[in-house]
């Protein structure tokens, strides 16, 4: 039976070269999923992701879909995938979706979370999932700067692709900065993000928190549309895709 399946996927991106399939490189998330689904169905299967996480970035709620032909039930497919996928990739849910559902084109927004460790001792067991800044940032200064980054604006200064030819205008709905114990998190929600954008926003806000740039400098930085003027690109290991948003009718398919 032909069907379009919708999957919610979690993965540890530490050893992978990102989401997107790369010819001759089997260490991608998309590539691993396509390989197992192709073995399952006996024919090539293309997996479409809601976005393209970079090398080393993690996910707790990536959404993907694939058109395939099989007589297996949803539960049987879910069990098969989790049996044969590597231990650092898990399909959390799998449901049949409408034929027109497209994980990327139907996505309304995404939530990313960046985690920093600000404790006094080494984060031995979390070291692959957190970034350790050189000091303890001032959260109030960071929140002040973050207010000017919310809204629909041209984020060219925060784009990591110097050859970007498409529009660099994006909408950031919210930036929440919280500290719980030894962990500092920056949670971003928006309609979509440019390449490295969340990591550059994070690096810039951390520089504000560490007193390296003024908290009220974001409007001028946005107006400049110049990547070299923004902060450093925070390491990939601290970033995690938490959730992808869809219309209610799309969520009912999950």
Give the mean pLDDT of 153-180: 94
How much is the pLDDT for 25?
81
Q: Tell me if 250 sits within 8 A of 105, measured CB to CB.
A: no
Q: Are residues 143 and 81 in the same domain?
A: no
Model pLDDT for residues 88-102, shown as the tens digit of each residue: 999 999 999 999 999
Q: Tokens in use for 133?
A: 């800044």
Assess whether 99 and 113 both reside in one domain.
no
Domain count within the chain = 2
Residue 85 per-residue DSSP state: S
**Residue at which a domain ends, from 60, 89, 106:** 106
Which SS3 state, helix, strand or coil, does residue 76 take?
helix
Residues 138 and 216 in one domain: yes
- Residue (of 9, 19, 68, 20) closest to 44 by Cα position: 68
The pLDDT of residue 252 is 41
The pLDDT value given to residue 249: 63
What average pLDDT does this structure show over 45-73?
96
* pLDDT-derived band at 253, boundaries 50, 70, 90: very low
Is the pLDDT at 66 greater than 90? The verdict is yes
Q: Tell me which of 26, 54, 220, 253 is the catalytic residue.
A: 54
Q: In 109-182, where do the E strands start and end?
A: 109-117, 151-154, 169-180
Residue 71 domain flag: yes
Indicate if the alpha-carbon torsion angle 38, 44, 48, 49 is positive or negative: positive
Sign of the dihedral through C-alpha 191, 197, 202, 204? negative
In a domain, 22, yes or no: yes
Where are the strands (E) in 99-238, listed by range? Answer: 109-117, 151-154, 169-180, 183-190
Tokens 């927004």 locate to 109
- Mark whether 178 and 120 lie in a shared domain: yes
Domain extent for 16: 2-106
Residue 159 has pLDDT above 60, yes or no: yes
CATH code, domain with 11: 3.30.70.580
Position 87 in a domain: yes
Active site residue 54: yes
The pLDDT value recorded for residue 247 is: 86
Crossing angle, helix 139-147 and helix 197-209, to 10 degrees? 130
Q: Which two tokens stand for residue 20?
A: 């997107």
Average pLDDT of the chain, as a whole number = 95
Instruction: Give the Cα separation of 133 and 138 in Å (integer).
Output: 12
Which pLDDT does position 23 carry in this prediction?
A: 80
Summarize pLDDT for 103-151 with one digit per residue, the tens: 999 999 999 999 999 999 999 999 999 999 999 999 999 999 999 999 9
């Amino acid at each position: 039976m032909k069907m379009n399946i919708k999957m919610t996927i979690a993965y540890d991106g530490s050893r992978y070269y990102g989401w997107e399939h790369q010819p001759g490189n089997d260490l991608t998330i998309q590539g691993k999923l396509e390989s197992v689904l192709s073995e399952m169905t006996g024919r090539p299967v293309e997996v479409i992701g809601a976005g393209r996480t970079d090398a080393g970035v993690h996910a707790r709620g990536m959404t993907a879909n694939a058109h395939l032909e099989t007589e297996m039930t949803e539960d049987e497919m879910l069990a098969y995938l989790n049996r044969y996928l590597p231990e650092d990739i898990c399909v959390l849910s799998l449901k049949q979706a409408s034929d027109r559902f497209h994980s990327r084109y139907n996505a309304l927004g995404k939530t990313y979370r960046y985690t920093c460790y600000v404790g006094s001792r080494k984060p031995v067991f979390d070291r692959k999932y957190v970034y350790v800044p050189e000091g303890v940032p001032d959260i109030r200064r960071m929140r002040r700067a973050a207010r000017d980054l919310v809204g629909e604006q041209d984020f060219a200064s925060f784009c990591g692709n110097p050859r970007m030819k498409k529009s660099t205008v994006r909408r950031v709905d919210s930036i929440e900065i919280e500290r719980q114990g030894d962990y500092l998190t920056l949670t971003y929600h928006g309609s979509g993000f440019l390449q490295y954008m969340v990591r550059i926003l994070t690096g810039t806000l951390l520089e504000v928190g560490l007193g390296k740039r003024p908290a009220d400098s974001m409007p001028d930085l946005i107006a400049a549309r110049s990547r070299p003027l923004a902060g450093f690109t925070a390491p990939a290991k601290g970033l995690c895709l938490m959730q992808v948003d869809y219309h209610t009718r799309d969520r009912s398919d999950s």
